[in-house]
Amino acid sequence: MSALLEFDRLRVEIPTPVGPRPLLRSVSLSVAAGEAVGLVGESGSGKSMTARSVLGMLPGGSVATGAVRFRGVDIGGLDPAGLRRLRSRDVAMVFQDPRASVNPVRTVGDFLTEVLRERGMSRAAAREKAGGILADIGVDRLAHRLKQRPYELSGGMLQRVVIAAALAGEPALILADEPTTALDVTTQEEVVAILDEQRRQRGTALLFISHDLELATAVCDRIAVMYAGEIVEILPAARLHEDARHPYTKALLKARPGSVPPGERLQTVPGVPQSAIDAPAGCVFADRCPVVEPLCRDTIPVLTAGVACHLEVS
C-alpha cells in the first residue's frame, strides 16, 4: 500500500526562553488514497498541529524534523509556489469554526468559485459546478444561496458550504479539524453524513480530527489516538472497543459516561491531559498511567504493531 500522506517521525519544536520545547514529539502515521483516518485525543495533544503541518502551516519560528510526505514528496522541501499548489489542488482543510474561516463580506457564490476561478475556469462554469456540489449535499434554493453572505446562514449551513468549497477543488485529501464541534448534535449528524458520503463517492482521503471517539469511529476506517504530541495507538475503527491495547485508549473509552451503567462511577485517569511540552521523558503517558513501570518513565516506547507501549510489546 503506497501512502498518499505519510508522517514519518514528525517532531516540531518551538524556541522558548529556556531552549527549544516540543509541540509534537513523534508523529508517525500514514493515510492511503481514499482512506479515512480519525485522529482523536484530548485538547492540547497536538491534533491541529499535525493537520496544519500537512499544509506547511506551523507556528512561526518552529523547527520541524522528520518528514511529512504527500505522494512521496517531502512537504518541508516545497518552495512557496509548490506549497500553494498543494493547498489549492491537492489538500483542502475544513476548520472547527466556519465563521472564522470564511470571509464575512464575500457571497457564498464567490467563496465557492474562488478556487475554480483561480484555475482558469470561466465564471459561468465555476458557478455551475459549485451549484452542482451544493445540490449534491442537499442545499436547496441554490440561486438564492449563492447570493447570500455568511452571516445570513446558520452555523450548520455555513459548514456545509465550507465542505462544498473543499470538495469543489477535487482534492485528493481533506483535513477536517473538529468540523462539527461547534454544531448541535442533530446538525452534526447531517454534516458528517454529507462529508462521509461525498468523500466516499469521490474517493477522497480524509484525516478527521475529533475529541469524540464514537463520532470518529463512525466515519473513519482507522483511528489514531494521540496523547501529548505522540500517536500512542492506531487500530481499525471497527475494532476500537474490543481491541484497544494502550492504557490511554482504554482510559478514554472507560471515561465516557455511556461506558458504565447509569449511576455507577466512571473510571477516571488521575491528573490532567498533558501537552508535549510537559510530557515526561519516557512514555508520554507515564505520569498518568495506571499500570506504569519503571522502564516507562525513562525509555520512549516505539510505535510497533499499532501500539506504543512497553507493556504491550513483549
Partner 1 sequence: MILEVTDLRKVFGSHVAVDGVSFGVGSGGSLAIVGESGSGKTTCARIVAGLERATAGTIRLGDLTDKSDRKSRARMVQMVFQDPYQSLDRRQTVASCLDEVLKFHGRDERPRRTKELLDLVGLDQRHAKALPKQLSGGQRQRVAIARALAPEPRLLILDEAVAALDVSIQAQVLNLLADARKATGVGYLFITHDLSVVRHVCDDVIVMHRGKIVEAGPVEKVLTSPEADYTRKLVGSIPRPGWVPTRA
Ligand X SMILES: Nc1ncnc2c1ncn2[C@@H]1O[C@H](COP(=O)(O)OP(=O)(O)O)[C@@H](O)[C@H]1O
Per CB under 5 A, residues contacting Mg ion are: 48
CB 111 to Mg ion: min, Å: 23
Report the residue from 26, 30, 45, 217 that binds ligand X according to the rule CB under 6 A: 45
Distances from the Cα of 46 to the Cα of 40, 65, 254, angstroms = 10, 15, 22
- Cell reading at 294: 519503571
**Nearest-angstrom CA–CA distance, 140 and 118:** 26
Asked if 141 is part of the footprint of partner 1 (rule: CB under 8 A), the reply reads no
DSSP 3-state of 243: helix
Distances from the Cα of 248 to the Cα of 116, 123, 273, 310, angstroms = 43, 51, 11, 13
Q: Where are the alpha helices (DSSP H) in the chain?
A: 47-54, 80-85, 98-101, 108-118, 123-136, 142-147, 155-168, 185-202, 213-219, 240-243, 247-255, 294-298
Report the residue from 192, 209, 220, 276 that binds partner 1 according to the rule CB under 8 A: 192
- Phi then psi for residue 227, to 5 deg, are -145, 130
Residue 139 interface partner, choices ligand X, partner 1, Mg ion, none, CB cut-off 5-8 Å depending on type: none
Measure CA 295 to chain center.
Answer: 31
**Nearest-angstrom CA–CA distance, 82 and 59:** 19
CB 142 to partner 1: min, Å: 17
Asked if 135 is part of the footprint of partner 1 (rule: CB under 8 A), the reply reads no
Binding mask 15-34 for ligand X (x = CB under 6 A): --------x-----------
Asked if 47 is part of the footprint of ligand X (rule: CB under 6 A), the reply reads yes
Asked if 83 is part of the footprint of partner 1 (rule: CB under 8 A), the reply reads no
- Among the listed ranges 41-49, 80-88, 119-127, 301-309, the one in contact with ligand X (CB under 6 A) is 41-49
- Cell reading at 167: 470538495
Asked if 262 is part of the footprint of partner 1 (rule: CB under 8 A), the reply reads yes
Report the residue from 46, 98, 179, 280 that binds ligand X according to the rule CB under 6 A: 46
- Among the listed ranges 44-52, 93-101, 179-187, 305-313, the one in contact with ligand X (CB under 6 A) is 44-52
Q: Which residue ranges make up the site for partner 1 (CB under 8 A)?
A: 42-43, 138, 184-190, 192-194, 196-197, 211-212, 214-215, 217-219, 241, 251-252, 255-258, 260, 262-263, 265-269, 272-273
